[in-house]
Amino acid sequence: MNIEKGASVAVVLNRNWANLHGVRLFLRQNETPQREIRGVDESHIVLAKVVDSEDSRGLWIELNTDRHREDPTVERFSFLVPRSQVLTIVIAEAFSPPIREEARRIGFTAEASQG
């Protein structure tokens, strides 16, 4: 899979994997990492920027892009999502407000810059 570095993506993950304490700690680091990620099914959405899509282990994404832009003291992280935990990837120039709101409603985390 070759996705351009810096591309805006919605990565749909296996929610059971996203709820592993060590994973959730980073996905929800600026929210409530102890709170379980819930949803209407077994998926979880992360809006992010691509760091590297060609690693055979999985997809590297950047977390905290927007928060870092607003507050440079917020640390950005490169985060590896193992290929086995990716259900699908949607690539877009930017995600519309209704899509972003629906993602928020179903409990996505780790929003990255979409602009």
pLDDT in tens, 43-80: 988 889 999 999 999 999 998 877 778 888 888 889 99
Which residue has tokens 């993950």? 13
* Residue 102 backbone phi and psi in degrees, to 5: -65, -40
* 108 — pLDDT class (breaks 50, 70, 90): low
Is the pLDDT at 30 greater than 70? The verdict is no
- pLDDT > 90 fraction of the chain, expressed in percent and rounded: 42
| Residue located via tokens 């999502």 | 81
Cα atoms in the Cβ-side hemisphere of radius 13 Å centred on 107: 17
Q: What is the mean pLDDT of the chain?
A: 83
Which amino acid, residue 43? Answer: S
Q: Look at residue 5 in the predicted model and tell me its pLDDT.
A: 95
Type of residue found at 94: A
Q: Are 6 and 49 in contact (CB under 8 A)?
A: yes
In this predicted structure, the answer to whether residue 87 has a pLDDT above a threshold of 90 is yes
Give the pLDDT confidence score for residue 93 in this predicted structure. 80
- The answer to whether residue 101 scores a pLDDT higher than 80 is no
Distance CA 71, CA 74 (A): 6
Nearest to 90 by CA among 70, 65, 108, 78: 108
Q: In the chain, what are the domain boundaries?
A: 8-105
Helix (H) or strand (E) holding 21: helix 21-27
Residue pair 10/47 in contact (Cβ under 8 Å)? The answer is yes
